[in-house]
Amino acid sequence: MNCAAVLAAYDAQVRRNPNPGAQGRIEREDGIVRVLGDGWAGVTWSDLEEAGADDAIAAQIERFAGLGVEWEWKHYSYDRPADLPARLRAAGLRAGPTEALLIAETGALSHETQPPEGVELAALSDREGVRSMLLLQREVFGDEPPGLEAAMLDGLAHEPVGTTGLLAFAAGRPVAAGRVEFDPGSDFAGMWGGCTHPDWRGRGIFRALVAHGAGLAAARGYRWLHVDAADMSRPTLLRLGFTEVAKTTPYLYSP
């Protein structure tokens, strides 16, 4: 993988042209791309000069103030200026956990990775399945992203489907979940919300779920699959064939 070329394509297609969701919109100004959505709001891309960075941060705080919701500045380790994280913290944003941006070529991953015996994988197709996925995520993570249920149901209603939820079942019980988002007009699909119930970790279920998601993306013509990986999932994804290209940290601002 030519990491520099893939990262440049990721910036152009994903960060600078994000999918705002059914009810959201994209706004652009010098050095900033932001999304104002019903489920997620924040800055997806920035490229700032040192001289104007503080003013740009203040302008985003003012712009999002009218929404009355928590919003996120999604920072990547290669963003300019180099001291942007310190400037964000000084402006009142708080850092969330840093994750690894991993990217893999969908055709290079093994789509035949099988879950352990007694575990079955299924793509979600209705409200009941979506709720099962969200309940598992809430059990594992303690919460669920605001607006996600509505966004997934909206994605299921379109053709082609914009978001596919995946569940792993054991004895009829959901034990692992994730979702694949297909960005229209992009070479990149994204996998999000990957989780495994603590009682079922270490058995290869998450690996099989990601491989299945990569197969779905490849079948839809997406060349690349990107994942923001926490420390727990990063080793599994690297063994599966992903490459780490950057670090990403959410900086959150509460009104």
113, burial (CB in 10 Å: exposed 0-12, middle 13-18, buried 19+): middle
- In this predicted structure, the answer to whether residue 57 has a pLDDT above a threshold of 70 is yes
Give the Cα separation of 47 and 82 in Å (integer): 10
What residue segments make up the domains of the chain, in order of their start? 3-99, 104-247
| Full-model pTM | 0.90
pLDDT of res. 130 = 83
pLDDT of res. 124 = 82
Q: What is the pLDDT confidence band of residue 144, given thresholds at 50, 70 and 90?
A: low
pLDDT of res. 56 = 97
* DSSP SS3 for 213: helix
> Where are the extended beta strands (E) located within 106-159?
119-123
Give the Cα separation of 171 and 183 in Å (integer): 33
- In this predicted structure, the answer to whether residue 127 has a pLDDT above a threshold of 90 is no
Tens of pLDDT, residue by residue over 200-243, are 998 999 999 999 999 999 999 999 999 999 998 999 999 999 99
- In this predicted structure, the answer to whether residue 53 has a pLDDT above a threshold of 70 is yes
- In CATH, what number does 104-247 get? 3.40.630.30
Highest mean pLDDT among 73-82, 110-119, 145-154, 163-172: 73-82
Q: What is the pLDDT confidence band of residue 159, given thresholds at 50, 70 and 90?
A: low
pLDDT of res. 121 = 92
